[in-house]
Amino acid sequence: MTIPVDDVIGAALTTVAADLFTVPVGKVRNILQVQACNVDGTDDVDVTLQWTDATSADAVTRLAYQVAVAAKDARTLLAGPMVLCAGDKLQALASADGDAELTVTFYDEDVV
């Protein structure tokens, strides 16, 4: 049995939904945590996190919608882990360009 190794990505958010990643062919991606950090010193920012389902014509499902993150604060956006399949995408956006940064912790497993 192979022990999965966690990986982490980070991204600065804009006001347009952007792909954080697309799950590679032959893999499932186990998302352990998604955290949004407000890097603005004075203003709150709203963060939206969503996934597109490759098996359903890239239908969008919001996981967190316009969640307010106070200035100089952070919030977890998932209540627990989730699994995405090959071709699925995780996307995010914020109410102000550059005011929020997102960190995603995950690991991949081969589809058997």
Q: Would you say residue 23 lies in a domain? A: yes
In a domain, 38, yes or no: yes
Q: What is the mean pLDDT of each run of 10 residues along the chain (112 residues)?
A: 79 97 97 97 97 96 98 96 97 98 96 89
What is the distance between the alpha carbons of residues 38 and 59, in angstroms, rounded to a whole number? 28
Residue 76 placed within a domain: yes
- Note whether 98 and 7 are within 8 A (CB): no
Indicate whether 95 belongs to any domain: yes
Whole-number pLDDT of residue 112: 85
Q: Does residue 33 contact residue 62 with C-beta atoms inside 8 Å?
A: no
User: Is residue 28 assigned to a domain?
Assistant: yes
The reported pLDDT for the residue numbered 3 is 67
| Domain count for the chain | 1
At 65, which CATH number? Answer: 2.60.120
Report phi then psi at 56, rounded to 5: -135, 50
Q: Would 2 be classed as within a structural domain?
A: no
Range of the domain at 69: 12-110
